[in-house]
A and B are shown apart, each in its own frame.
Chain A
Amino acid sequence: RFTPGQVTVITTDDHNATWHGFTRFKDAEKGSRVSGMSELKKYFQRFGYLSIPDNQNCSFTDVFDAQFESAVVLYQKKFGLPVTGKLDSDTLSEIMSPRCGVSDTGPKVRATKH
């Protein structure tokens, strides 16, 4: 326990922070195949941008396909980012940012434009 008023010094390196590994997808675009991209697709599925694949074992591939491109476009619109359809540095920086676990979009969320 710390006594109030005492400066708390904790130094934790953020290189092993969750999602830090997504940096390797920088500038990936439709048609490319990058090892591990299925993990990024799970991230998009978790926050409502991609539906679970309806293939036999419901698993994502490492291919940047058209479905994933439209998920990236949806994400860029939701976050007010330039809509490029690519994993540019602004988009990746936002993806790797710490965030709330509630889904952004999808069947449970009804967006209201004001």
Chain B
Amino acid sequence: PHSRDRVVSDKLSGLLVAPEDATSELNPLLRLPKAVRRGYALLPPLLKVLSDQGHQNWESEAPRLQPDSRALRYMKRLYKMSATKEGIPKANRSHLYNTVRLFTPCSECKHSHRDLMKGDLHSVDLLFNLDRVTALEHLLKSVLLYSFDTSIPTSSSFTCTCHLSVKEHDFSSQVCPSVSHTVAFSLHFEVRKRKWVEIDVTSFLQPLIATNRRNIHMAVNFTCLMGDPQHNTKQDNSINMALVPPSLLLYLNDTSEQAYHRWNSLRRRRKNPVRPRRRNSPFADIADDKGRENPQGKRA
């Protein structure tokens, strides 16, 4: 118990560090209790680097894979919509999520005609690796994000059909799993300036992510006809979408202590509104000492 008394708790990283004098030379990871070390490994990089600053040279870390520029542009736009210039989450945003992850497919696999479904010329297998999603990040919504390339005229209307199927891993083929369950739906929409199409696949992926599946194999065929199909049936208006693999967007609620819980802080603020210190009133201190309703003060 004595050693526990001297344990230093570090609120910022939520870690308990062993007594300082006995462990400062050890490798920081060795210093942590086993269970915490596992949690530590899954800490978001920002908190890891804040905890590790001075113990690990982040420069020497393995080079990061660079994300797709379109994906980056989309996430920067999402950031601007969700946070102020100072980086503070916008109060008027009533969204439940406090984490959004965007994954680009890490491998593609084209099917040979033999086992394609009839008429499905552009089917592409996509593998998304979701290892970065932690156990405390709970899925709220998942979207397949398609971006139109710039050559498409703006405010055109499209009718698209999408064949989506999730694959189970077929051990006979290392990369290309077999089909398990499929869904097909069609969309009709108009492309605006932003040239993004979000396809909500939440109900489709929820059971997979809830069972901690971290490798998601999907076969996606997304074919669009420009204009309204009733009016023109010419095939040459089809836009070959499958060549541009979609990104996968996950809206998550992180329940860890380090994450911002919008509803908690609103409740906290409502419980004890803070009265700012009034400098311009010469009697502020006196009023403060007498006027503030502090139950402890009253009891004392």
Please indicate whether A and B come from the same complex rather than being unrelated chains.
no
- What residues make up the interface of A, taking CB atoms closer than 8 Å to B? none
Residues of B within 8 A of A (CB): none
